[in-house]
Amino acid sequence: MGDDKLSLRWGVEQKLQFIEFRLFWEGHVNRGDLIDKFGISQNQASGDLNRYIALAPDNMIYDKSGKTYVRSTSFSPIFLNPDATHYLSQLRSVAEGIVGKEDAWIGNLPAFDAAPSPARGIDPVVLRSIVTAIRRQESIHTLYQSMSAPDPEWRWIAPHALAFDGFRWHARSFCEKSREYRDFVISRVIETRQSRSTQMQITADVAWDEIVELEIGPHPDLSLNQKRVIALDYGMQNGRVVIPVRRALLYYALKRLGLDTDPAARAPQDQQIVLLNRDAIAA
């Protein structure tokens, strides 16, 4: 089985993963599902189903009355690692309009919605210029509106990475004016002009390269049962979970988790989690 799986072409394996996705989450799959998803012929769809049966004969059986293959009681996935996060991320992508319903692997979408997030007005031309500068390791001239100044100003920055703080996209860049690494909110870049080879020696972005570990635990003032459910909610083991984060993104991570303030400032039922290694993180 292992050798057969390794020898499969990517397109074939993707279809076998799709078959397992439908079997695991919805309990059935048929030729029409493959035809609709991959735009293949009936013969190709039948061939893919037969290939799956040959590789995993105990995973599905044919239901003549429903004219579909259904998940067997001995089903054990071999091409797909079922992941709740992956399933829910598809729902979120559909809810936010990132992908259409027809593009999701989920066939029978459950009722769902998501709290709206404000759309960030990123100019695709600006983003392309930043990404190009990252690839070429160049500086780029940007008209940037900082919140510390009343008017936008032109400045040379040397971006080396993109970063998402949970709400906004940033260009992690060396600023030639301040001579330090900063996060530039991409939606605040009004315009870009020419790019050039970096004009100065740039030191390593230590804050970007350093990974710190946040040790998270349930709020100590919660009840025993409340602590147990919070531990399950965050995938904790022995009352804690470790979350790695770049030091450059530490501020955003703490803010998003509600760990940027004194835990005593909120009720335990609202705060729910605490940072167990605050002193080590601040070092």
Say whether both 217 and 166 belong to one domain.
no
165, part of any domain: yes
Is 153 inside a domain boundary?
A: yes
Domain count, the chain: 3
Q: Judge whether 108 lies within some domain.
A: no
User: In terms of Cα–Cα distance, which of 58, 72, 83, 168 is closest to 119?
Assistant: 168
For residue range 145-167, list pLDDT tens digits in order: 999 899 999 999 999 999 999 88
d(CA 25, CA 104): 13
Residues 185 and 240 placed together within one structural domain of the fold: no
Q: Which token pair is 232? A: 């399950």
Q: What confidence tens digit (pLDDT) does each residue in 258-268 have?
A: 998 888 888 99
Q: What percent of the chain has pLDDT over 70?
A: 94
Rounded to the nearest 5°, which phi and psi values hold at 127? -60, -40
Long-range contacts of 94-103 (CB under 8 A, 24+ apart): 102/36
Query: In the prediction, which pLDDT does 143 show?
Result: 97
- Res. 226: pLDDT tops 80: yes
Q: What band does 50 get if pLDDT is binned at 50, 70 and 90?
A: very high
Looking at the domain assignment, is residue 119 inside a domain?
Answer: no
Residue 271's domain comprises: 210-282
Would you say residue 257 lies in a domain? Answer: yes
221's enclosing H/E stretch is: none
